[in-house]
Structure 1
Amino acid sequence: MSAIAGIYRFNGEAVQSEHGGLIMEALRQYPANQSRLWNMNHIMLGCHAQWITEQSVQECLPYYDSNRGLAITADAIIDNRDELMDQLQVPHHPRQHMTDSEVLLLAYEKWSERMPERLVGDFAFIIWDERKQLLFGARDFSGARTLYYHHNEQQICFCTAINPLFSLPFIHKEINETWLAEFLAIHGVFEPPDVSTTIYNNILQLPPSHKIIIKNDNVSVTRYHSLSDVIPLQLASSEEYEEAFREVFNKAVTARLRRTNRNVGAHLSGGLDSGSVVSFAARALEHENRSLHTFSYVPETGFVDWTPKHRLADERPLIKQTVQFVGNINAQYLDFSGRSAFTEIDDWLDILESPYKFFDNSFWLRGIFEHAEQRDIGILLNGARGNYSISWGPAIEYYTKLLKNLKWLQLTQEIKRYSRNVGVGRRRLYSIVGRKAIPVLKQRSSSIASGDFPQLINSDYAKRVGIYEKLHDLTFTGIGSTDDLPDDPLEARRVHFERVNMWSATGTSNCKLSLRYSLWSHDPSNDLRVIRFCLSTPMEQFVQKGMDRALIRRSTKGWLPDSIRLNHRTRGIQAADSIHRMLSDWPVFLAELDRVSHDSRMQQIINMPVIHDALAEARQGISPNQAYNPAIKLLMRSVILYRFLQKNF
């Protein structure tokens, strides 16, 4: 794992050595085991390396092979290296010590520009091909590693992080107003759909699932496809699907565990996704006489759980059942006392180098990385994308499909069983399914839901920037919601994985947290092999016999306790104590919002009448049970943007 950097001069002039030095000096804000520069005339490559795997300790980056005329700098852990080395016919003897960058160079030599689509793992890399006189690079399919760049008529400069690019004397901060306007207009936590752009006008990023080629002074960025060859899987029985799932999932979970001598950690909630990851990891580590360290967020002392009975703000009762059943776990329950989304703002702005929206969980996300660093964790596992892969299985949407296809008998049997599992009456379930199946009713409920969140952007600003028409487009303002996705559940899932913007914010935050805390975040539920398997598996394996998320529930029999595996009625809810945590800082929060409302720049950008209404509500005092109140989202997003602008412009 590394932060990488480089400069390529178009006109053939030599890169000034001080420019490379400036970028590498700026990267010193991140911990590193080794920091190196390589320079050859008009090309400079840099690497600020953090050693995570056993092979990375032996890795010398940037690496240049004069015989092959190839140089590489890479921020990469390749999970399918064994399969790649088989295809590349690498002898067995040197495989154990072969570095990932060496595997990348061999893959480039064999498959050239088609090599990224064959890779499974997290990566961003740049290869200099001296013989072809071209620069070639790529970013992994979901954006788990970042790569930013600036180019003008003289050169292209790139880096894992944004701010080191501003250390160069010819790159200046200039706000990208289109990006900002779209960022504010989108109601959810998603960023603008054009992920090649950033908050800065002259800083671009290589989008996930894209490659970049610089040749003859031309810069070409194109998409590659990792999920285009998914073939429907047809097995003889449900048991065979379960066995096949366990095989591919176990490979995804354990791919990195055997490659690091450092400790292994994992996020653990009371649910299926993280529980499944933990159960497979703990069992694999036990064979090596190593234990798994788990980190679980719990509410702060004194918090009174206001959530409904079927929701748990404190998931300890569920987590402890998993820990006890699985075994070989060193469990830690962290309440992050004194921290809140408000106290975390400055740190997160430094980490992300950009405004952000996912403030609710910010205090424990960063806190877990801090605790993991203190325990020398090298790999920190999570199951964040599980809802779309391993634990996908939307029962209501599947039943809606049955209703539309007039499969009455199957629908009746499924509803009867599902009603018993979830504890909801059949009449109510039929009503829900009917509303989803009838377009007029669906459109009406969708419109009502969409109107619940006030528009944060000033309409005059939206007009000036040129995005005003998008404010009335629910598929834009509702990116990532049901307004934006197809009704058919299979098609909605396909679209989710097809769109590169759907997971880019998650990838970016995990990448930059990993750089700050010198550990690698890894999500086996986002492993391409797992995703391909899930996309190839019939929907009937994901919803059957009255069970949603049926494949993971069945496949983890013996791996998770039945009380977790078959739990349909109780679910954890994150950040329910977010307002409770902010109460001691509430006067400071209100005072800053007063400054926001009187700031001339913010008045041009933000819809101030909406902020004034939300601020009036906040002054009256917001109860802890209003943690998900839209007013809080509007106010926090405004404060975050205000601080970012104050800090950078």
Structure 2
Amino acid sequence: MVVASGSRWEQSLFYALEQGRLLLATHPRDLVRGLTRPPALDVAKLVDLVALYDAPESTVFEGVRRLPLGHVLERSPGRPPTVRPWFTPATDEDRAISTAEAPALMREAVRGAVAASLPAGGDVGATLSGGLDSGMVVATASGLLAPAGRGIHAMTHVPLPGAPEPTGSWEADDGPYAEDVARSLTGVTWAPVVNTDRVPPLESCRWALDRAWYPTFNPANQEWCNQIVRDAEARGLPLLLTGASGNATFSRDNDGIVRGLLQHGRLGALVREVRRRAAARGALAPAARSVVRETLPRRVLAWRRAQRRRRLGVSWAMPDVADLPVRADALSDAARADLALLAQEFPPAGRDMWLDFVRLDTSRHGFPQNLSDDVWWSDPLSDPEVVALALRLPEEAWLAGGRNRGLAREAAAGLLPDRVRLRTTNGGQSADVDQWVRGQEQAYRGLVDRFRESPTVRQVLDVERLATAVGPEMTDPATASVWQDIHGRAFAIGQFAVWYEDRVRSG
């Protein structure tokens, strides 16, 4: 028997070997249900998930494995299954592709990917932010569906009134930008998704557990994911389009590109980039200075970034092991290495780092895919053809147009309103989460008591440390989002463990 998985962000395939049988399923829930005995939870896996490290071949269930994308599973009678890669994308730059023609090539690749994602008939749904990625997907889909009288219902999370504005280049509310996109397109209706009932993350994660049988990785976003799925089900929409992987394959930023061109002696490319930026900004001197800044050593750039954060009053940093309420002694070496890289003040950037980002098997984080048996999530920006084009584009091509994320901005010309296409700010997510958790301290403390009784959770979390985290930081608008990223995720993983233990006990 030979079974192959897709090459990028298609439905994951799970398998288990039990009593000589090889069981296969596209959902871990269905595979677990098919086993004669419920599997134990994989404690080591849960520990790593607290640090958001997710090895692609394993699941939270012992003995239930995942076939990584681009791999093949082979099994012969009397032999255990073997797994090997079948798809290794080419990563050499194709210097024959010019910077001028690259946006059109990307635009056409995205069009083909969106077309391949659409069902044969009927309307579809979409998640729509106010940025380039989901906007490009929705605009492209509109161009394909509207001539046939088919429509798109787009949904955007919008915070409650009073949500604080993040510092720096972040904005709390993507709604006005997303609404602009919808209004500019034919056949697109738009609706804001607002947590008006202030459903707390613990309740949102609990609702999702009965459907997904898997822990939530981002509890602050779970409620609006749930609402979008329920809305799509109520409308009978079989598909939700998204652009979740666009930062890797479509709207890659300039970080490290200019420095890499200098390191490889491609001085002509640097001169051309100065000219492109001068044309975009209308002035040569600022354009030249910006290119020179991006060629500076990483230590200098780290110092400049630290100074800018101090001026803005930003103290954000990636968590390290010391911040996580986890049994740190049980973290895998791979999880520790991943955290150490992310915690650097100025992580290394360049083509090699970006290639790792593109090749990251993000389908294992496709949790929303498992929330409904009737609604399929599709990310055309992770389509193999889009990925293949991204990997062979020359580095200079990503600098098209003289702006950061220039290739995507040029590819979206004429499809997205310039207010969105040329936007230089970023949209925050769940900026109002502090309002959802006010008055929920007792619920979190009650869950801590459950954790103390759970043999699994005690092996995964530093329960007493987690207990001390329940306090003012979880409801402070300045810290609530970060609190959910660190402590909220730990609560969600512990919540899954006690949910599963209860389910096994109840039969």
| TM-score above 0.5, yes or no | yes
Partner SS, residue 148 of structure 2: coil
Which one of the candidate residues 619, 633, 640 is aligned to 2:485? 633
Q: 1:456 aligns with which of 296, 315, 325?
A: 325
What residue is the counterpart of 1:623 in the other structure? 476
Deviation at 1:543, TM superposition (A): 1.4
Q: Which whole-Å deviations, capped at 9, do the CAs of 1:511-567 have from their partners, x for residues lacking one?
A: 31242xx02211110011111111111121111453111112112211111111112
Q: Which residue of 1 aligns with 2:13?
A: 147
1:277/1:382 contact within 8 Å kept: yes
Q: Does 1:161 align with 2:19?
A: no
Q: Which residue of 252, 261, 272 maps to 2:121?
A: 261
Matched-pair contact (CA < 8 Å) for 1:136–1:211: yes
Q: Distance in 2 between matches of 1:439 and 1:309?
A: 17
- 3-state SS of the aligned residue for 2:23? strand
Counterpart residue number, 1:330: 189
Partner amino acid, structure 1, of 2:296: G
One of 375, 382, 402 as aligned partner of 1:519: 375
Residue deviations 1:175-208 (CA, integer Å, cap 9, x gap)? 2222223323x2xx342x2x22222222222222
- Following superposition of structure 1 onto structure 2, how do residues 88-487 of structure 1 map, counting pairs within 5 Å? 135-167=1-33, 170-184=36-50, 186=51, 189-191=52-54, 193=55, 195-229=56-90, 232-235=93-96, 237-257=98-118, 259-300=119-160, 302-308=161-167, 310-338=169-197, 339-392=199-252, 394-402=253-261, 404=263, 407=267, 434-436=296-298, 451=320, 454-459=323-328, 462=330, 467=331, 473=336, 475-478=337-340, 481=342, 487=348
What is the aligned partner in structure 1 of residue 428 from structure 2? 573
Q: Which has the higher strand share?
A: 1
- What is the alpha-carbon distance in structure 2 between the residues aligned to residue 217 and residue 484 of structure 1? 52
How far apart, in 2, do the equivalents of 1:413 and 1:276 lie? 27
Secondary structure of the 1:149 match is strand
Contact 1:144 1:510 (8 Å CA) reproduced: no
What displacement does 1:245 show?
2.1
Query: Counterpart of 1:314 in structure 2: which amino acid?
Result: D
**Is residue 294–residue 330 contact of structure 1 (8 Å, CA) maintained in 2?**
yes
Q: Distance in 2 between matches of 1:600 and 1:219?
A: 31
Q: Distance in 2 between matches of 1:241 and 1:411?
A: 15
Q: Is the 8 A contact 2:125 2:239 kept in 1?
A: yes
CA contact (8 A) 2:174 2:427 kept: yes
SS at match of 1:383: coil
- C-alpha contact 2:131 2:427 (8 A) present in aligned 1: yes
The size of the alignment, in residue pairs, is: 487
Any idea what the Cα deviations from partners look like across 1:311-341, whole Å, max 9, x if unmatched? 2222122122212222321111121322232
SS at match of 1:295: strand
Could you tell me which residue of structure 1 aligns to residue 313 of structure 2? Answer: none
SS at match of 1:294: strand
8 Å contact from structure 1 (residues 325, 560) kept in 2: yes
**Could you tell me how far apart the structure 2 residues matched to 1:309 and 1:488 are?**
21
**Does the CA contact (< 8 Å) of 1:144 and 1:504 recur in 2?**
yes
Equivalent residue number for residue 311 of structure 2: none
Partner of 2:505 in structure 1?
none
Structure number with the higher helix fraction is 2
Contact 2:43 2:456 in 1 (8 A): no
Once the two structures are superposed, what CA deviation does each residue of 1:468-520 show, in whole Å capped at 9, x if it has no partner? Answer: 7667x4x23357x47699835221222223343xx03333x1431242xx022
Q: What is the alpha-carbon distance in structure 1 between the residues aligned to residue 298 and residue 495 of structure 2?
A: 42
3-state SS of the aligned residue for 1:217? coil
Q: How does 1:558-597 map to 2 (within 5 A)?
A: 558-568=414-424, 570-593=425-448, 595-596=450-451
Seen in structure 2, the aligned counterparts of structure 1 residues 172 and 323 have a Cα distance that, compared at 3 Å, is: closer
Is residue 190–residue 505 contact of structure 1 (8 Å, CA) maintained in 2?
A: no
Q: CA deviation at 1:249?
A: 1.4
Give the Cα–Cα distance (whole angstroms) in 1 for the partners of residues 182 and 26 of structure 2.
37
Q: Name the CA distance, whole Å, in 1 between partners of 2:58 and 2:346.
A: 23
Normalising by structure 2, report the TM-score.
0.84
Aligned residue number for residue 389 of structure 2: 533
Q: In 2, Cα distance between the equivalents of 1:293 and 1:231?
A: 39
Equivalent AA in structure 1 for residue 259 of structure 2 = T
Q: Displacement, 1:270?
A: 0.6
Q: Distance in 1 between matches of 2:97 and 2:20?
A: 60
Identity of aligned residues (%): 20
Measured against aligned partners, the alpha-carbon deviations of 1:89-138 in whole angstroms (never above 9, x if no partner) come to xxxxxxxxxxxxxxxxxxxxxxxxxxxxxxxxxxxxxxxxxxxxxx2212
How far apart are residue 306 of structure 1 and its match? 3.1
In structure 2, do the counterparts of structure 1 residues 579 and 534 end up closer, same or farther at CA, with 3 Å as the change threshold? same
Relative contact order (alpha carbons < 8 A, sep ≥ 6): 1 or 2 greater? 2
DSSP-derived class of the 1:343 partner? helix
> What is the deviation of 1:293?
1.4
User: Does the 8 A contact of 1:233 with 1:536 survive in 2?
Assistant: yes
Amino acid of the residue matched to residue 466 of structure 2?
A: I
Map 1:77-92 → 2, pairs under 5 A: none
Give SS of 2:58's match: coil
Which structure has the larger Rg over C-alpha atoms? 1
Q: 1:204 to 1:334 in 2, by over 3 A?
A: same
1:242 maps to a residue whose letter is P
Aligned-residue CA RMSD in angstroms? 3.6
The separation in 2 between residues aligned to 1:244 and 1:151, in whole angstroms, is 44
Q: Is the 8 A contact 1:402 1:411 kept in 2?
A: no
> SS at the partner of 1:396?
coil
**CA pair 635-433 structure 1, distance change in 2 beyond 3 A:** same
Amino acid at match of 1:220: P
